[in-house]
Amino acid sequence: MHISVTMHTMKRTRFSLMLLLHCCMCSFTGVVVAVQNKNVNTDQLALLALKAHITSDPQKIMTNWSTATSVCNWVGITCGARHLRVAVLNISYFDLTGSIPPELGNLSFLVQLDFTNNSFRDTLPMELSRLHRLKLISFGYNNFIGSLPTEIFNLSALEKIDLTNNHLSGSIPREIGNLTMLKEIILDGNNFKGIPNEIGTLAQLEVLNVQDNALNGPLPVAVFNLSSLTQMGLTKNNLTGSIPDNICENLPSIQALFLSYNQFDGPLPSKLWQCKELLYLSLSFNKFSGGIPRNIGNLTSLTHIYLAANNLQGTIPHEIGDLSKLQVLSLPGVNVHGVIPSTIFNMSSLIGISLASNQLSGSLPANIGLGVPHLKQLLVSGNNLTGAIPNFISNASNIITIDMATNHFSGFIPSKLCALPYLERLNIAEN
């Protein structure tokens, strides 16, 4: 009898414990749900604050942003699978007009923020600095004004910032050196005036684009120490000084160098031709001097050369014909003289040749057209070229523009020119 009572008591105790544990679990689950709901409500309030700052929504995107549905189902919103918090806010190309409220800084799980190609205006709120998980900021093609809040450069996880074509001004803050994970800086089409030395500490930076801005003075030497850089775009500024001779030793991975429309001077870097990865070289409309070195033929990966409107001299080296992948050769107005190397017309990948406004002499190679089947543009006007227009030019069957004006060509106009199917412009005036 004693044993039976004891067993019964134990069963009742076990049942009570199980009931208590179940109640605790229910209570704990309720707390988790409540916390999650509270967090989602925080995201919802932040997004509704953004919606309230939208003054024009021609595509009626924001009608979907309603408390009647979950935030994770709103247009442009992606939630993380683990925390069910807003991870991506992408409202690009929606033709929206408005401004960014400070409440947006409450989206604490946000990883990507993309407002590209809208009409957002006013300044960038400093509260964006609270988005510590943020990896992408893309605000290109809007109407933002003012300077960059230095607080934004405390976003240590940031990998890409794109502010193309806005109305931002001032200098790029020195705090940019804090963004140790940064891989791409794209600030084209603004009014920034300076690049700080601290940019040289960004060991993972691959793309530096600050084109069409108000940069002036010489570039910080630190810019040329970014060993991971593959693209440097600084076209259309007012930069001065020379390019370091050892540019390729400091930028061993560089593939695209866009420095046109500045005030750079001095000779072309003597070791520029050691940049084995270089695909695009754009140095037009500067004040570079000296000749085109013969070792330009070492850049066997090169597809585009733009050296127009500089103070170069000498001849065009025949080694340029070693660039088997070259598609565009642009050397107008650089004061080169001598004959056009016949090797140029053996580069089968060429699409465009521009040698206008120089001191070139002699005749065009007799086999012109045979070796350049993809050629679409041949510009040799404003030189001292002589002889006849070669019949073989008609073999460049894809050509669209031929400009041979203001030379000393003579003889007959080849009738085969009439057979070129895509020819739109033929200028042989003043010959």
Give pLDDT tens digits for 81-95: 888 899 999 999 999
CA distance 190 to 168: 5
CA distance 417 to 129: 63
CB count within 10 Å of CB 196 equals 17
pLDDT mean over 382-409: 92
Specify the pLDDT at position 419: 87
pLDDT over 90 (residue 189): yes
Residue 385 main-chain phi, psi, to 5 deg: -70, 145
CA 248 to chain centre: 21
CA distance 344 to 387: 18
Q: The sheet that has 311-313: what strands, in order across it?
A: 216-218, 238-241, 263-267, 287-291, 311-313
Arithmetic mean of pLDDT over the chain: 90
Q: Which of 173-177's residues contact partners 24+ apart within 8 Å by CB, and which partners?
A: 173/148, 174/198, 175/150, 176/202, 177/201, 177/202
Q: Which helix (H) or strand (E) is 37 found in, with range?
A: helix 2-52
pLDDT band at 20; cut points 50, 70, 90: very low
CATH superfamily of 27-369: Ribonuclease Inhibitor (3.80.10.10)
Residue 306 main-chain phi, psi, to 5 deg: -125, 110
Give pLDDT tens digits for 347-393: 999 999 999 999 999 999 877 888 899 999 999 999 999 999 988 78
Q: What angle do CA 282, 284, 286 make, to 5 degrees?
A: 125
pLDDT band at 31; cut points 50, 70, 90: very low
**Of 16-30, 144-158, 260-274, which range is least confident?**
16-30
pLDDT over 70 (residue 271): yes
pLDDT mean over 122-135: 96
Specify the pLDDT at position 6: 43
State the number of CA atoms in the 13 A half-sphere of 112 facing the CB: 12
C-alpha distance from residue 124 to each of 127, 167, 245 (Å): 9, 11, 39
Specify the pLDDT at position 12: 53
Any residues with CB less than 8 A from the CB of 246 and at least 6 apart, and which? 269, 271
pLDDT over 80 (residue 13): no
Specify the pLDDT at position 190: 98
Q: What angle do CA 420, 421, 425 make, to 5 degrees?
A: 70
Question: Contact, 346 vs 322, CB < 8 A?
Answer: no
pLDDT band at 428; cut points 50, 70, 90: very high
pLDDT band at 54; cut points 50, 70, 90: very high
Identity of residue 314: G
Give pLDDT tens digits for 226-251: 999 999 999 999 999 999 988 999 99
C-alpha distance from residue 242 to each of 218, 282, 284 (Å): 8, 15, 14
DSSP string, 118-144: SEEEEPPPGGGGG-TT--EEE--SSEE
Specify the pLDDT at position 192: 97
Residue 78 main-chain phi, psi, to 5 deg: -125, 130
CA distance 342 to 49: 66
The residue to which tokens 């409309």 are assigned: 285
pLDDT mean over 263-286: 93
Residue of 231 and 268 predicted with greater confidence: 231
pLDDT over 50 (residue 21): no
pLDDT over 90 (residue 121): yes
Shortest CA distance to 420 belongs to which of 402, 407, 405, 406?
Answer: 402
The backbone region for 125, taken as left when phi is positive above 0, alpha when psi lies in -120 to 50, beta otherwise, is beta
CA distance 431 to 423: 20
Any residues with CB less than 8 A from the CB of 417 and at least 6 apart, and which? 389, 393, 394, 402, 423, 426
Specify the pLDDT at position 67: 92
pLDDT band at 24; cut points 50, 70, 90: very low
The structural domains of the chain, with segments of one domain joined by +, span 27-369
pLDDT over 70 (residue 17): no
pLDDT band at 396; cut points 50, 70, 90: confident
Q: What angle do CA 97, 150, 190 make, to 5 degrees?
A: 50
